[in-house]
Amino acid sequence: MAESKQIPCLDHGFVRLVDSMGDDLAIVRAARVSYDAEPRRDGSDGKLIRYLMRNRHTSPFEAVTLTFEVKAPIFVVRQWHRHRTWSYNEVSARYAELPEDFYVPNPSDVGEQSKSSKQARDIGHEVSSDAKAYCLALRKASEGAFDSYRGALGAGIPRELARLYLPLNTYTRFFATVDLHNLFGFLRLRLHPHAQHEIRVYADAMLRLAKTVAPVATDAFSGTFFDD
């Protein structure tokens, strides 16, 4: 592969490509079988993939499947799980003690509440003293939450209840499997400028990793998505 199979995300997270099935050729085979034709060596396969993408002929892209290992904050994963075309298997704090990993944004990424969107924030302003104070307070609160969590476990409180101390910025880890068509659907939403900054970081990493498996298809996606 042209780049590492694992890409760091945020302060303690990552996305890792652990398995894949199919590639650009699988997409072409799936498309050409409809009129009983074979893949070609004349450059038309790439043209076909770009045609499929442009005209939203989506089923051939389902011939490629990817499995990622992801370490991300819980609030990011809860957004991720809204995409129900994925298959997920996540670590359970009922069965295992979670390590003390929690997300604290850089003050430069805090920004301000958007005045034009109820759910968004505007990043790019000068870093304020309030943003710096927020990050310090968040770190202190998270450390306190983990102290309480470990104290409860040490006192014999069941894991399934001790975990209630843990905040939404706690990192969790999961495996996620998706076909390329539904990955592109995820990326159309989560790479959008209106998506939350943190999940956009993960979406960008997955696009880069998917390109190592199906470079022509991901270039075709990027061409339609970023040119819109």
Annotation marks residue 78 as catalytic: no
Q: Which residue, chain included where needed, has tokens 């005045």?
A: 115
Catalytic one of 188, 190, 200, 208: 190
Q: Which residues pair with 66 in a beta bridge?
A: 20, 178
Around Cβ 114, how many Cβ atoms within 10 Å? 13
Q: What's the Cα-to-Cα distance from 7 to each of 11, 30, 163, 191, rounded to whole Å? A: 12, 30, 28, 16
Q: Strand (E) positions, the chain?
A: 6-9, 13-21, 65-73, 87-90, 112-113, 121-122, 171-179
Q: What's the Cα-to-Cα distance from 13 to each of 64, 139, 167, rounded to whole Å? A: 25, 16, 16
Active site amino acids: 190
